Structure 1
Amino acid sequence: MPGSLAPPRNSPPAADASLQADHAGLAPLLASRRVILCVGCGGVGKTTTTAALGLAAARRGKRVLCLTIDPARRLSQSLGLEEMTTEAQTIEPARFARAGVDVPGSMTVMMLDTKSTFDGLVASLAPTPEQRDRILGNVLYKYISTSLAGTQEYMAMEKLYAVRSDPSYDLVLLDTPPTANALDFLDAPERLVGAIDGAATRWFVQAFQSSGKLSLNLLARSTAAVLRGIGKLTGSGFLEQIAAFISEMNAVFGGWKQRADAVASALRGPDVAYVLVTTPDPLCVREVLYFADRLREQQMRRDAFVVNRVHPVYGALPGVGEIAAALDGSSLGLASGAAARLLQAAKDESRMGKLDQLNLIALEAALEDEQSAGSVRVDVPAFPYDIHDVAGLARIADVLAPQPGAAG
């Protein structure tokens, strides 16, 4: 008898009937949370994981919104979209039906537009329409709202905060921004508030008279000397723009700080879940463990770990003769030597699987410490093909959150 090919840990339900009965994966999070943030470094499949979780929730009847930053074009196409836009787009039910995927809920996707989100925040906080227009038209504001470090992360949290109370959706998923530090969004509200409330800001507010003119005579001699030096390099017009912007922003600062505090508080709410996404790559595992530590320091839960692209570890493999006999009885019409090549491919994949398991030992040890808090780990197999359609996305969804009563 040929040896069995053991499935990888938490492989799709079709591969192992026992997993269906006792492994719910991330299904409890989909059922109990209002917001789920997918966190991880770049290149680990975070966007695909977010979309697959969204599909899994929609298959359970949820009205889902997936917010993403920079979606892969192939993922957009798999959902039947020419491209993802900054407007909410609901996936057509016929798209799911053609793929044989039953979706009683709905799945809406939206790409984050940092500037329009910032513009909306300013418009809601400005005391008057005139102040709103002056801020939005300021050269410095146009730079800050599109290019300043931390702006994208803060606006992602602001958008999340805005839509979490939208009654159109039961669940909101966020594919967090692809930054050098994937947890920059945790500090973004405080950092931007600090930038507005810093000492240099207060210089300008003090120097910008009610007449709207910059007067360095109102400042201490040393401070005035610093600003005059900057003015020689940049031109006095630039200093006027800075002073005008900061003076106007000072009027909305109280509301902004209150909003930032509310956003930071919401990230720690009981209806928010964090899913940390990685691959077995040692560098990625090290990063996700660092992210877990940061979340712990911020008194946030580590609800789940998703490990993408995990190779299987096979049991005893059949010999070349057994494989050749099986191939002879098939209609595949493979060339001679195919049996040996198939056996070698299985050995190579199993070898990669063993290496993956070694790389994941550190994550497994960390997870043992997390289990008292209810953290779970789900391994998504390394599929032998690209995920480029709804059916492929549904396969990942089945791994992340197996359908109740799925056939084995």
Structure 2
Amino acid sequence: MNDHITTPITPDLLRGALELERTEHGLAPHRLPVRARAQGDGQLAMAEAQPSGVRVVFRTRAGVVELDTLRTRVGYRGMPLRPDGVYDLLVDGELVAQASTTGGKVLLLDMATGTAETRPGPVGTVRFDGLADRVKDVEIWLPHTEITELVALRTDAPVEAVPAGERRVWLHHGSSISHGSNAASPSTTWAALAAARGGVDLVNLGFGGSAMLDPFTARAMRDTPADLISVKIGINLVNADVMRLRAFGPAVHGFLDTIRDGHPTTPLLVVSPILCPIHEDTPGPGAVDMEDGSMRFRATGDPAERAAGKLTLTVIRTELARIVAQRSVDDPNLTYLDGLDLYGDADHADLPLPDRLHPDAATHRRIAERFAEAVFSPEGAFAPQPVTA
């Protein structure tokens, strides 16, 4: 780029990250603080470092924008690597371009042995050009499935930070579905689409395989400024088979109590799982089958074990509704949304889950529309605030 301007990537140019780590190459956005990361496992470490919902945001007249990054792609031994991650470019809130980068590292996981190997690779560049010659707000949404280190930002005109606080901040926690598994791009995960429809700034703490009611996640949410908060609870507890019903209720109460310690009156929405037929009435653990070079999920538990307290999605929905009803007597800003209202039996007949667990791109859009209609409507839990003179 001729006459380019290199702008340091500073926290005021980023949205959606809770912490930035200085690396030998640049800055790595994290969606959990270092203390929380130290208390999790490798699955969580991989998931939270994938910058779902994280975007570089600035105001500029630039017609050309380049972003140098070092990506880490996650692959599984014996399977092709996933397609390249997508960078979404939004101008004044509208998706106008998409691109991918090259190079980067590969984190190769061996599901048979539980081992991992990291293969090195070079820094790559994503470039957008032909942008309108006017002052505009630019957002570069980072790939939601690739760990990303930010190396350099170059433009052909000066950039400035967009002031924070212009929109309400929505803090959301969930599983791989909230993280964006099988969505087409980072700004088209269901959470990102719902945030756009609701006119809010998203902080997405959706962690693939890691929505486990972890106390450190609750503490991170407690300590993160937010105007709206939601937690989507259930599927990972079932498919990882991590607890019984006796532990589940107190764990939910404790998670909500911790959030309330920092946000005593903030609108707080509890969302139960969307339909997942393999786990509706069959406990976990879940297992993976390889079919035609792709993964399919199945449940391996025994439905009879529900009598001993094993969790299924049906059990979890009933318990979450009961807990919210109990707590909302003293907490009028706590509400419940049944995940079957977002994706249920009729939706599954129309748009089945391709791998039996995760929605595809079209289903992400449907879930986003349903969520926005239910939650951001004038009667919803996150209803727009009235304009005051």
Give the TM-score taking structure 1 as reference length.
Answer: 0.30
Q: Going by fraction, where is helix more abundant, 1 or 2? A: 1
**Larger-gyration structure (1/2):** 1
Query: 1 or 2 for the larger relative contact order (CA 8 Å, sep ≥6)?
Result: 1
Give the TM-score taking structure 2 as reference length.
Answer: 0.31
